A and B are shown apart, each in its own frame.
Chain A
Amino acid sequence: MLGLNTKDTRLLLLVIALTMLAPFLLNPFPVDSELAQFNAGYPDLMQRFVIFGIFAIGFNILFGLTGYLSFGHAAFLGVGSYAAIWMMKLLTMNVIPAIIMSVIFAGLFSLLVGWISLRRSGIYFSILTLAFAQMSYALAYSVLTPITGGETGLQAKISDPRILDSNAGEFGRANLFGLQMSENVSLQVGGWDFTFNAGYYVAAFMMIISFYIAIRIFRSPFGMMLRAIKSNQQRLNYTGLNSRPYTLAAFVISGMYAGLAGGLMVAMDTQVGPERMFWTASGEVVLMTILGGAGTLIGPVLGAGMIKYMENIVSKINDTILHQWFSFMPDGLEDFVVTVIHPFIGKGWHLTLGIVFMLVVIFLPGGLMEGGERIAKLFKRKKGSGSGGKDPEHHPTPKPHVA
């Protein structure tokens, strides 16, 4: 289907199914149950899952394929966001122009940064990208305040000129031809409450397209060249290929993905702040990609989901909630259990995140994807077909004779 082989088609369909049914899948617990705290199926977090999924997919095209580790990708996300909010301030609250401009601006900026940074490789490249991103952050926070709004950032305001629909922005609500991104439809079944959010489906649609393009890039001759760059750049040069345009193209593509993610963030939530460009934000996407499995198609999306889940769910569990959970225990035991868990939840969510990073990388060297593969292998072995062979994600084998 769509120029993909059977396996990739199946993967794409799986991703489509998962994103479309996310409001159900992420809300497995009834609203009033004690475990409802673990539900992630509310619009904002679902939007974040797919948006950071896009960001990580794009980052993986650069890092996973070419091995060039950029530490400045948050800058492109930030530039995309600023471009989008300015479109909303100047032109219209419709998200389409905002998203298009965010991709274009991020692409141009990444072209500039990439053109300079790709003169070096290895850690020297990483530091160059980091330097550009940190400069963007520092300037956006301070001297560029007239353009970026500085610390308090930019929001859509009633007083904005908005040439195309001057009266649409009363509350700064972004829309898609009138369909507001904040529009919800909720479905209550039994104890469950499922929310379907217009913005989420717009973002999810964009992610599916992004994912599809990523598959095509992975399977294309271009993708093969990128993997060749990671594998042996010297041989590539002696084969008559100039690696720089390939890396630059990959850099710009991943920069555009970041811009798209930035634009969607504004489309879902009309505001931008400069700390979106801080080095920790660049580091976060690196961690997402490695955590999920660099170089795999779906791994980065899983990594993004994992980190955002911890950030938004674990950080909100407080002692009061713990006491509710363990209220069935005898008092002394309850207090003991709560005391033991206390450092890892609420304000301790960073600690949990750090431990997860370490555990994953120690026990699953290929990231979460490797965990998935091991489980899959376990099932296969039970069925009796022993040899798994090589990892199909890392090393796609072209099938030339498939018509």
Chain B
Amino acid sequence: MDAIILQILNGLDKGSAYALIALGLTLIFGTLGVVNFAHGALFMLGAFCAVTLSRILSLSHVVIDESRKDFLGNPMKVEVPYLHEWFGPEVGATIIDWSVPLSILFAIPVMILIGVIMERGLIKHFYKRPHADQILVTFGLAIVLQEIIKYYYGANPIPTPAPEAFAGSFDFGVLIGFDANSIIYPYWRLVYFGFAMVLVAAVFSFLQFTTFGMVVRAGMADRETVGLLGINIDKRFTIMFGIAAAVAGLAGVMYTPINPPNYHMGMDFLVLSFVVVVVGGMGSLGGAVAAGFLLGVLESLASMGWVIDLVPGINQIIIYLVAIVILLTRPRGLMGRKGVMEE
């Protein structure tokens, strides 16, 4: 029992990453009708916003320390971050330590800007083109974006730890009456889960309760009609793309302490996020979130030792198997609307 609760917890956490990426992807699908293969790259760019901010905060100048030698026997060059000089080593170190949460503030404007530039500069011209062309151009863009990151940051993962305060884990099992050590959970993953919930709620309430959101939802349902009402839907869609980019980016920022980011992490998530969106049902925001959590939980449950012993390899294929079963039993995924991306 405790093992299953533990895996459900794990699954919810994994699912929150899936749900966040899928949410942005389905927003773009739903509002713009664009198959965006560059969405994984947006997630990756978000993660590298965190890396960049942590680099900026640790900008240093070099002090030659004659008393120590480097590996070639030359005097050691010691790097002292400017922040340490300006605010004293302790405050400076704390600021650097908190670089990931601080990156949220940095990433929001950057990602919205990237999203808007992408939409205005490129995607806009592809609304009326076939999906095949959209795939080719966004895939090309994804490659270009990740190669640029690779050029500047290398291919190796870059450790970007969470603040000291969130390091380690706590014993969740004891709280609900299980033995010690049976259900432990890292603090940062809880933060991530909570953050995802807040972000999902924010996007939903934005769409639900603002006039802007209402217009966009109407536009998702019937673009031409809204256009006929004299509302400038294009401009709103541009902003929507910016928001979708920001959601993906924030998912990336907060993900960096969980796994060190590297330049191809976007591609790793791309296929999965498409599966999540489609299983959830095209054009359904709620479906994307639900499918994200569902697949996350099932993936976690399938990775339990006795399950693998029972069905070897099940942990390798569970997500795809579930996707097939759901799509065969529910033609448009969990909550898909008719006619979206079916042609």
Direct contact of A and B (CB under 8 A): yes
Chain B interface residue count, CB cutoff 8 Å, equals 43
Q: List 13 A-B contacts (CB under 8 A).
A: A123-B342, A124-B333, A128-B323, A128-B328, A131-B321, A132-B320, A294-B132, A353-B143, A354-B139, A354-B142, A356-B140, A358-B141, A361-B136
Interface centre among B35, B131, B140, B274 (most CB of A within 10 A): B140
Give the distance in Å from the alpha carbon of A141 to the alpha carbon of B148 in the complex. 31
Given known contacts A124-B331, A283-B139, A294-B132, what 7 new A-B pairs fall within 8 Å (CB)? A69-B132, A124-B327, A127-B279, A139-B313, A139-B316, A290-B132, A350-B143
**Interface residues in chain B, defined as those with a beta carbon under 8 Å from any beta carbon in chain A:** 35, 122, 125, 129, 131-133, 135-137, 139-144, 146-148, 151, 267, 271, 274-275, 278-279, 282, 312-313, 316-317, 320-321, 323-324, 327-328, 331-333, 341-343
In chain B, what residue has the closest Cβ to A295? Answer: B132
Is A354 within 8 A of B316, CB to CB? Answer: no
Give the distance in Å from the alpha carbon of A116 to the alpha carbon of B143 in the complex. 32
Residues 31-77 (chain A) with a chain B CB within 8 angstroms: 63, 67, 69
Q: Mark A111-146, 1 if CB is under 8 A from B, else 0.
A: 000001001111110011011101100110111100
Is B342 within 8 A of A355, CB to CB? Answer: no
In chain B, what residue has the closest Cβ to A294? Answer: B132
Task: Collect the chain A residues with CB atoms within 8 Å of residue B135's CB.
Answer: 69, 286, 290
Is A120 within 8 A of B327, CB to CB? Answer: yes
Give the distance in Å from the alpha carbon of A283 to the alpha carbon of B271 in the complex. 11
Is B274 within 8 A of A127, CB to CB? Answer: yes
Is B313 within 8 A of A143, CB to CB? Answer: yes
Q: Is A351 among interface residues, defined by CB-CB distance under 8 A?
A: yes
Give the distance in Å from the alpha carbon of A279 to the alpha carbon of B144 in the complex. 19
In chain B, what residue has the closest Cβ to A358? Answer: B140
Give the distance in Å from the alpha carbon of A356 to the alpha carbon of B135 in the complex. 14
Q: Is A372 among interface residues, defined by CB-CB distance under 8 A?
A: no
> In whole Å, how far is A389's beta carbon from the nearest beta carbon of chain B?
22
Chain A interface residue count, CB cutoff 8 Å, equals 45
Give the distance in Å from the alpha carbon of A343 to the alpha carbon of B323 in the complex. 39
**Which one of A122, A134, A141, A350 lies within 8 Å of B271 (CB-CB)?**
A134
In chain B, what residue has the closest Cβ to A139? Answer: B313
Is B132 within 8 A of A351, CB to CB? Answer: no
Give the distance in Å from the alpha carbon of A357 to the alpha carbon of B139 in the complex. 8
Task: Collect the chain A residues with CB atoms within 8 Å of residue B148's CB.
Answer: 351
Give the distance in Å from the alpha carbon of A343 to the alpha carbon of B279 in the complex. 39
Task: Collect the chain A residues with CB atoms within 8 Å of residue B125's CB.
Answer: 362
Give the distance in Å from the alpha carbon of A67 to the alpha carbon of B148 in the complex. 33
Q: Is A365 among interface residues, defined by CB-CB distance under 8 A?
A: yes
Give the distance in Å from the alpha carbon of A63 to the alpha carbon of B136 in the complex. 14
**Which one of B129, B275, B328 lies within 8 Å of A119 (CB-CB)?**
B328
Give the distance in Å from the alpha carbon of A365 to the alpha carbon of B132 in the complex. 10
Is A290 within 8 A of B133, CB to CB? Answer: yes
Interface residues of chain B: helix, strand, loop or mixed (majority): helix
Given contacts A127-B323, A128-B324, A351-B148, contact A142 B275 (CB under 8 A): no
Task: Collect the chain A residues with CB atoms within 8 Å of residue B328's CB.
Answer: 116, 119-120, 128
**Which one of B147, B267, B275, B316 lies within 8 Å of A138 (CB-CB)?**
B316
Is A116 within 8 A of B136, CB to CB? Answer: no
Give the distance in Å from the alpha carbon of A119 to the alpha carbon of B279 in the complex. 15
Is A121 within 8 A of B343, CB to CB? Answer: yes
**Interface residues in chain A, defined as those with a beta carbon under 8 Å from any beta carbon in chain B:** 63, 67, 69, 116, 119-124, 127-128, 130-132, 134-135, 138-139, 141-144, 279-280, 283, 286-287, 290-291, 294, 343, 348, 350-351, 353-358, 360-362, 365
Task: Collect the chain A residues with CB atoms within 8 Å of residue B343's CB.
Answer: 67, 121-122
Task: Collect the chain A residues with CB atoms within 8 Å of residue B274's CB.
Answer: 127, 130
Give the distance in Å from the alpha carbon of A350 to the alpha carbon of B141 in the complex. 11
Is A354 within 8 A of B147, CB to CB? Answer: yes
Is B317 within 8 A of A358, CB to CB? Answer: no
Task: Collect the chain A residues with CB atoms within 8 Å of residue B321's CB.
Answer: 131, 135
Is B143 within 8 A of A142, CB to CB? Answer: no
Give the distance in Å from the alpha carbon of A356 to the alpha carbon of B139 in the complex. 11
Task: Collect the chain B residues with CB atoms within 8 Å of residue A124's CB.
Answer: 278, 282, 327, 331-333, 341-342
Task: Collect the chain A residues with CB atoms within 8 Å of residue B144's CB.
Answer: 351, 354-355, 358
Task: Collect the chain B residues with CB atoms within 8 Å of residue A119's CB.
Answer: 328
In chain A, what residue has the closest Cβ to B267? Answer: A280
Task: Collect the chain B residues with CB atoms within 8 Å of residue A128's CB.
Answer: 323-324, 327-328
Give the distance in Å from the alpha carbon of A132 to the alpha carbon of B129 in the complex. 28
Task: Collect the chain A residues with CB atoms within 8 Å of residue B271's CB.
Answer: 130, 134, 279
Given contacts A123-B282, A123-B341, A131-B323, contact A357 B147 (CB under 8 A): no
Give the distance in Å from the alpha carbon of A135 to the alpha carbon of B314 in the complex. 10
Is A290 within 8 A of B320, CB to CB? Answer: no
**Which one of A122, A141, A351, A353 lies within 8 Å of B341 (CB-CB)?**
A122
Is B137 within 8 A of A358, CB to CB? Answer: yes
> In whole Å, how far is A91's beta carbon from the nearest beta carbon of chain B?
29
> In whole Å, how far is B57's beta carbon from the nearest beta carbon of chain A?
27
Task: Collect the chain A residues with CB atoms within 8 Å of residue B275's CB.
Answer: 127, 130-131
Is A348 within 8 A of B313, CB to CB? Answer: no
Give the distance in Å from the alpha carbon of A130 to the alpha carbon of B35 in the complex. 15
Task: Collect the chain B residues with CB atoms within 8 Å of residue A365's CB.
Answer: 129, 133
Give the distance in Å from the alpha carbon of A263 to the alpha carbon of B111 in the complex. 46
The 5 closest A-B pairs by CB, nearest first: A357-B140, A354-B143, A143-B313, A131-B320, A138-B316
Task: Collect the chain A residues with CB atoms within 8 Å of residue B129's CB.
Answer: 365
> In whole Å, how far is B208's beta carbon from the nearest beta carbon of chain A?
26
Is B140 within 8 A of A355, CB to CB? Answer: yes
Is A143 within 8 A of B312, CB to CB? Answer: yes
Is A348 within 8 A of B143, CB to CB? Answer: no
